[in-house]
Chains A and B, each alone.
Chain A
Amino acid sequence: MNITEILLRLHQNSYYFFAIILFVIGFHTMLTHNNLIKKVIGMNIMDTAIFLFFVSIGYIRGGRAPILVPGADYLYVNPLPSALILTGIVVAVSITAYALSLIVKLYEHYGTVDAEEIMRLRGGETL
Chain B
Amino acid sequence: MNATHHLSALAIVLPLVCAFLMPLFDRWRRGWCTPAALGALGFSFAASAAMAWQVMTAGPFYYRMGNWPPPWGIELYVDYLAVFTALTMTGVSLVILVYATKDLLHELKPGLLGWYYTLYLLLIASMVGMALTNDIFNLFVFVEICAIAACGIISIKATKECLEAAFKYLVLSALGSGCLLLAIALLYMVTGHLNFTFISQALPEAMRLYPNNILAALALLLVGMGVKAALFPLHVWLPDAHSSAPSPSSAVLSGLVIKIYAVALLKLLYQVFPPGIFEATPVLTILLWMSTMAIIAGSMFAIVQEDIKKMLAYSSVAQIGYVFMGFAIVDPSALTGGILHVFNHAMMKAMLFLAAGAFIYCTGVRRLSDLKGIGHTMPIPAAAFTIGALAMVGIPLTNGFISKWYLVLGALHGGQPVFASVILLSSLLNGVYYLPIIVNAFFGEPQGRVAEPRPLPRQMQVPLVVLGVGCLLFGLFPSLILGLASRASQALLGL
Q: Contact residues of A with B, CB < 8 Å?
A: 23, 26-27, 30-31, 36, 39, 43, 46-47, 50, 53-54, 57, 81, 84, 87-88, 91, 94-95, 98-99, 102-103, 105-106, 109-110, 118, 122, 127
Contacts and interface: CB of A to CB of B under 8 A. Distances in A.
A106 B163 contact: yes
15 contacts: A43-B178, A46-B175, A46-B178, A47-B174, A47-B178, A53-B182, A57-B188, A57-B189, A81-B185, A84-B194, A87-B137, A95-B144, A99-B174, A102-B163, A102-B170
A103 B178 contact: no
A26 B464 CA distance: 45
A103 B155 CA distance: 11
Contacts of A118: 164
Given A95-B170, A99-B174, 6 more contacts: A53-B185, A81-B188, A84-B137, A95-B174, A102-B170, A109-B163
A43 B172 CA distance: 10
Given A27-B175, A95-B174, A98-B148, A50 B181 contact: yes
B179 to A, nearest CB: 9
B24 interface: no
Contacts of B181: 50, 54, 88
Nearest to B181: A50
Given A54-B185, A94-B148, A122 B160 contact: yes
Contact of A95 (B148, B160, B166, B188): B148
Chain A interface, >50% SS class: helix
A99 B167 contact: yes
Interface of B: 137, 140-141, 144, 147-148, 151-152, 155, 158, 160-161, 163-164, 166-167, 170-171, 174-175, 177-178, 181-182, 185, 188-189, 194, 236, 240
B163 A91 contact: no
A88 B181 CA distance: 9
A82 to B, nearest CB: 13
Contact of A122 (B147, B164, B178, B189): B164
B141 A91 contact: yes
Contacts of B148: 94-95, 98
Contacts, number: 78
Contacts of A84: 137, 194
A50 B180 CA distance: 10
Contacts of A87: 137, 141
* 9 smallest beta-carbon distances between A and B, as pairs: A54-B185, A91-B144, A109-B160, A102-B167, A57-B189, A50-B181, A127-B236, A46-B178, A105-B163
Given A87-B141, A99-B171, A106-B167, A50 B182 contact: yes
A103 B167 contact: yes
Contacts of B163: 102, 105-106, 109
A98 B151 contact: yes
Contacts of A122: 160-161, 164
B171 A110 contact: no
B236 to A, nearest CB: 5
Nearest to B147: A95
A94 B166 CA distance: 15
A118 B167 CA distance: 12
Contacts of A109: 160, 163
Contacts of A127: 236, 240
Contacts of A94: 148
A50 B158 contact: no
A8 to B, nearest CB: 19
A110 B177 CA distance: 28
A109 B155 CA distance: 13
Contacts of B166: 102
A95 B166 CA distance: 12
Given A102-B155, A109-B160, A30 B175 contact: yes
A87 B167 CA distance: 23
